Amino acid sequence: MSTLEFDSTYSALTGEHIGGIYIPTAEHDDDYDVILDGQTDTEWRFLTGYTGQYGYNGAVMHASETMTDEAIRKAVREAGGDTFAIVAVGAHDDDNPVFPDEPDYCEESGCAHEPAGWAVIYRAAQVNA
């Protein structure tokens, strides 16, 4: 289980908290699975392929899924990142929940802009010239 906090940035090398970095808002998108600040092209990338959800290999982890701190750091490093954050992912709208295989999800949670899961976002390592 992770001890990392939502909406905080960390070093993938040391695990230490890094302050003063803007963290974009993640939300579901019908065309791209998830997007950041309403955009598809940002300096941040989603870590994908770590969820155990049947038939889904995207970025959004179900609220019941966990990863250890070291597993997250290792996955980010292997993806080429050096800075990462854990973000909540909101549902896009009432008609399209992130987890459509859970028919009672919207009825119980209201769906609209409620957290539907979580994801790890990372920035590629900065190369100094």
* Summary mean pLDDT of the chain: 80
Distance CA 125, CA 82 (A): 5
Query: In terms of DSSP H, where are the helices of 16-89?
Result: 69-78
Return the pLDDT at 16: 94
How many angstroms from the chain centroid is the CA of residue 20?
19
Domains of the chain, by residue range, sit at: 9-124
> What is residue 81's three-state secondary structure?
strand
**Close Cβ partners of 109 (under 8 Å, ≥ 6 residues apart):** 116
How many angstroms from the chain centroid is the CA of residue 125?
18
In this prediction, what percent of the chain has a pLDDT beyond 70? 75
Return the pLDDT at 17: 93
pLDDT digits over 26-76, tens only? Answer: 988 888 888 999 999 899 999 998 988 888 888 989 888 999 999 999 999
**Close Cβ partners of 129 (under 8 Å, ≥ 6 residues apart):** none
If one compares 3 and 102, the residue with the highest pLDDT of the two is: 3
